[in-house]
Structure 1
């Protein structure tokens, strides 16, 4: 009787060990698969981040903030942020009553005003304008003088036509 009891305990213990061994192997395979999936996700995210950083650098290529040669023109003026100063001066032209004087079109829905401004370098600006329904773009030449005045000269312009 005692031998049968030890035999049953031994078989029961062996079955428990076999069960633990098999389930541990399955858990390890599941964890390895999950880890491989996470590694692939991390690699994809790193590639996406690198692509985004390259796009940002590409978009910043034509900007005064990243152009040391153009910024050198303003060293003697001791401006902390020349781009912001010039953009503010350009936006001040919106404050006049009626259409912005730099925009060679009359507003159809309301007055044409400047919306977005991109300062390309120490001489040129690209600006977007709109009256709420119609919109266009301007290429502006500017000159920042030693007395901190800014002269704006319209180089070219376009007004988008509505097709619908």
Structure 2
């Protein structure tokens, strides 16, 4: 009789313990599924935002890439050369930057920091001397001798806030 009661108590204990463990696992699964759904929404939102941000970018502009390919250029090699050409202008002597129409108002030189090639004709870039910031809008072309020519179209310097 005692053995029977002991066995029944042991079975009840096992049943309750297993049920608690299963309930905990089910709750954890629900939490993980909720986090996964939230993460998938965030990924989708970031993909949409990335698509919007890359709209004015040569890497997503098939017409601009096709233009270069029709001219016989390999865009994988050409686009870095276009960007590097502007960065190389940071290596200049004196106070006047080759393409930025401002002179540094600090002890450091004006330098182009970030460049975005918009399409097969236009580039936007920002510049700074460490304290003052601005942007330039540049057109570019490749001449008959396969040399890059940059032309400043528009520029601005952000006012400082005191």
TM-score, scaled relative to structure 2: 0.91
CA distance in 2 between partners of 1:105 and 1:147 (Å): 30
The equivalent residue for 2:97 is 100
Q: How many residues align?
A: 158
CA distance in 1 between partners of 2:146 and 2:72 (Å): 8
The equivalent residue for 2:63 is 69
Q: Where does the alignment leave 5 or more consecutive residues of structure 2 unmatched?
A: none
Q: Where does the alignment leave 5 or more consecutive residues of structure 1 unmatched?
A: 1-6
Superimposed CA distance per residue, residues 84-133 of structure 1 (whole angstroms, 9 cap, x where no aligned partner):
11111122222221332211111011221211100000111101001111
Question: Residue 83 of structure 1 is aligned with which of 79, 102, 115?
Answer: 79
CA distance in 2 between partners of 1:19 and 1:70 (Å): 72
The equivalent residue for 1:14 is 8
1:77 CA displacement = 3.4
Question: Is the contact between residue 141 and residue 150 of structure 2 (CA under 8 Å) also seen in structure 1?
Answer: yes
What SS class does the counterpart of residue 80 from structure 2 fall into?
helix
TM-score, scaled relative to structure 1: 0.90
Question: Is the contact between residue 124 and residue 136 of structure 2 (CA under 8 Å) also seen in structure 1?
Answer: yes
